[in-house]
Amino acid sequence: MTTHAIIVAAGKGHRAGGDIPKQYRSVGGQALLRHAVERLQAHPGIDDVTIVINPDDRALYDAAMHGLTLPEPVTGGATRQQSVLNGLEALATSPPTIILVHDAARAFLLATLIDDLLAALSDPANDGAVPALPVVDSLRRAGSHFEAAVDRDGLFRVQTPQAFRFPALLAAHRAAAPGATDELAIAMAAGLRVAVTRGDECAFKVTEPQDFAKAEAMTSPALSSRAASGFDVHRFGPGDHVWLCGVQIPHSHGLIGHSDADAGLHALTDALLGTIAAGDIGDHFPPSDPQWRGAASDTFLAHAATLVHAAGGIIDHADVTLICERPKIGPHRAAMRARIAAILGIDVARVSVKATTTELLGFTGRSEGLAAQAMASVRLPA
């Protein structure tokens, strides 16, 4: 027994707006059609997926399906009905046992929907099975004003995929009068017995422009917040300037370190690495590696930001506290915030730089060295 799916993607989708047919519009970073294809391909009960397209859209199709293994798409017809028939005829030389016909715009179908369809067709008494949802809103006929009530009892909203025994659907399609809206209509006209299975709101049809916002929300992964801290110290030594939070500041001493000794950026780099549990700055930029001698520390921070982004993360906030008696940080705070914001690619309102002394106590109090601590907040896929 083989089960194939046909996705009808030959339409223009005018109601949805946009410059290209809606099935090729990007939702969650990939074409709407690709979401449907991947969901059908991923189901263990589906052996192959054939897509019916408008040949004018071939370049869009190729771009959207890049990297997927699929049979050559079938050319659609002037109507949805003709497009499905073309798809069925293309499979007729080596017919599957069961065929699912699906609308590309119902991109977010669930595996359970397919499970229920295949289960219904395990009953030999059923020629087909179609998912549907009971109508819960009250119904009324209306023109410009309300007219008679319609009893919603026993009324259903019909979805896709619609599943049939292939020979029965092919025969029904070949014999059908033109203008059918879906396979259910054609099957009913042919006297087939079609079971109702449970529909799901997730399989809604992307139709109107506002549906894209709903679709986008469905594809954005749930994000969870993470926060992590970093700490760094560098010793004062001979010199006439220090680098702090990416800003060069004239000073009576320099800071000693393998790189530019920017403790502020080092602490923040460690904090960001901490949000993705990616070790510390020394793991990524070993002091033993001569290429980092005297390096500008913005390289380190930019690398940590890249790693967070690669993990699907969004950097929400960065907060640095510099701990020293001298130099005075206040006059440079705005420049530091702007520099960090630029390195991280976030708004300056999301960057905080603070300073404190240790009341002349300890190594910072004696101006033997300067310390920095940092906190980074990110959102990552859950």
Which residues sit at the interface with Mg ion, rule CB under 5 A? Answer: 232, 266
The smaller minimum CB distance to Mg ion, of residues 116 and 262, is found at 262
Residue least distant from Mg ion (Cβ): 266
Select 51 or 374, whichever has its Cβ closest to Mg ion: 374
The two structure tokens encoding residue 346: 């976030």
Q: How far is the CB of 370 from Mg ion (least distance, A)?
A: 10
Strands (DSSP E) contained in the chain are 3-9, 26-27, 30-31, 48-53, 74-75, 98-103, 128-134, 139-142, 146-150, 156-158, 162-165, 194-198, 223-237, 241-244, 247-250, 254-256, 314-323, 351-356, 369-381
> 136 exposed, middle or buried (CB, 10 Å; 0-12, 13-18, 19+)?
exposed
Residue with Cβ nearer Mg ion (295 or 311): 295
Burial label, 204 (beta-carbon count in 10 A; 0-12, 13-18, 19+): buried
Q: Nearest approach, Cβ of 232 to Mg ion (angstroms)?
A: 4
User: HSE of 16 in the Cβ direction (CA atoms, 13 Å)?
Assistant: 22
Task: Give the nearer residue to Mg ion in terms of CB position, either 87 or 369.
Answer: 369
Please name the amino acid found at residue 51: I
Smallest distance, Mg ion to C-beta of residue 362, A: 18
Place of tokens 């069961």: 98
Nearer to Mg ion, 116 or 232 (CB): 232
Helix (H, G, I), strand (E, B) or coil at 21: coil
CB of 285 to Mg ion, least distance (A): 10
Closest CA to 33 of 61, 69, 13: 61
What is the nearest approach in angstroms of Mg ion to the Cβ of residue 234?
A: 6
**204 or 292: whose CB is closer to Mg ion?**
292
Least distance to Mg ion, CB of residue 243, Å: 11
Smallest gap from Cβ 100 to Mg ion, in A, equals 59
3-state secondary structure of 69: coil
User: What DSSP state is assigned to residue 98?
Assistant: E
Q: Which two tokens stand for residue 179?
A: 């203008």
Of the two residues 280 and 316, which places its CB atom closer to Mg ion in the complex?
280
| Whole-angstrom distance, CA of residue 353 vs CA of residue 329 | 9
Q: Which two tokens stand for residue 19?
A: 């410059």
**Nearest distance from C-beta of residue 236 to Mg ion, angstroms:** 13
Distance separating alpha carbons of residues 164 and 133, to the nearest angstrom? 19
Nearer to Mg ion, 18 or 237 (CB): 237
Q: Which is nearer to Mg ion, 200 or 280 (CB)?
A: 280
- Distance of closest approach, residue 263 Cβ to Mg ion, in angstroms: 6
Question: Residue 301 in 3-state DSSP?
Answer: helix
Which value, in Å, is the radius of gyration of the alpha carbons in the chain?
31
